[in-house]
């Protein structure tokens, strides 16, 4: 019986030593990872300090370079009169900003069809779409300009106003 107690005691001692060793190993691995992260952070901060020092040196040289330019080099930015007769002529070369694209919604339907059966074609561009000329459909296409402006009412109000302006008969030209 003493041999069994001694074997059990050795088994528990070995198991305790293994658990303690594994715990120490995990702790050491955690510390190594922390040291590795600290080294990476230190390298990144060192690079950032070197970058900031280079920028500081460059900015510190700017007043000295300006003094050299004022006293020795006498350099200046080009003016419009060096190339053209006036600044107005230079400004005329700038292209005006393009207007925003206008979006059109074209709804076509035969005269005898119900209003809920209509095909809608959306065209975008700066020029109005070409008029539809088909022999099969005697009803002309309706051209509606739909847009959204904040604070100017709802889209439904805008479309209703556009439809009313299209439906209203135009005054005869004199």
Owning domain of residue 3:
1-77
**pLDDT tens-digit profile, the chain (174 residues):** 678 888 899 999 999 999 999 999 999 999 999 999 999 999 999 999 999 999 998 888 888 888 888 888 888 888 877 878 887 887 777 777 777 777 776 666 566 655 554 445 555 544 555 555 555 555 555 555 555 454 455 566 666 666 666 665 555 555
CA distances from 56 to 51, 59, 63 (A): 9, 5, 12
Same domain (yes/no): 20, 66: yes
Q: What is the DSSP letter of 95?
A: P
Same domain (yes/no): 73, 114: no
Same domain (yes/no): 57, 123: no
Structural domain ending residue among the three candidates 15, 44, 77? 77
User: Collapsing DSSP states into helix, strand and coil, what is residue 47?
Assistant: helix
Give the number of domains in the chain.
2
Q: Residue holding tokens 């715990």?
A: 23
Distance CA 126, CA 37 (A): 58
The answer to whether residue 128 is domain-embedded is: yes
HSE at residue 172, side-chain half, CA atoms within 13 A, is: 1
The answer to whether residue 172 is domain-embedded is: no
The answer to whether residue 87 is domain-embedded is: no
- Please give the model's pTM, rounded to 2 decimal places: 0.33
């Amino acid at each position: 019986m003493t041999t069994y107690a001694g074997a059990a005691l050795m088994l528990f001692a070995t198991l305790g030593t293994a658990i303690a060793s594994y715990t120490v190993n995990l702790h050491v691995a955690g510390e190594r990872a922390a040291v590795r992260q600290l080294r990476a952070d230190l390298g990144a901060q060192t690079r950032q300090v070197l970058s900031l020092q280079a920028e500081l040196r460059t900015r510190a040289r700017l007043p000295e370079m300006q003094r050299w330019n004022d006293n020795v080099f006498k350099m200046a930015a080009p003016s419009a009169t060096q190339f053209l007769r006036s600044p107005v002529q230079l400004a005329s070369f700038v292209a005006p900003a393009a207007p925003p694209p206008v979006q059109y919604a074209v709804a076509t339907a035969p005269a005898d069809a119900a209003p809920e059966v209509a095909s809608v074609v959306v065209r975008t561009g700066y020029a109005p779409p070409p008029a539809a000329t088909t022999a099969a459909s005697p009803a002309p296409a309706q051209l509606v300009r739909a847009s959204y402006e904040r604070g100017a009412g709802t889209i439904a109000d805008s479309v209703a106003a556009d439809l009313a302006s299209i439906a209203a008969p135009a005054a005869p030209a004199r």
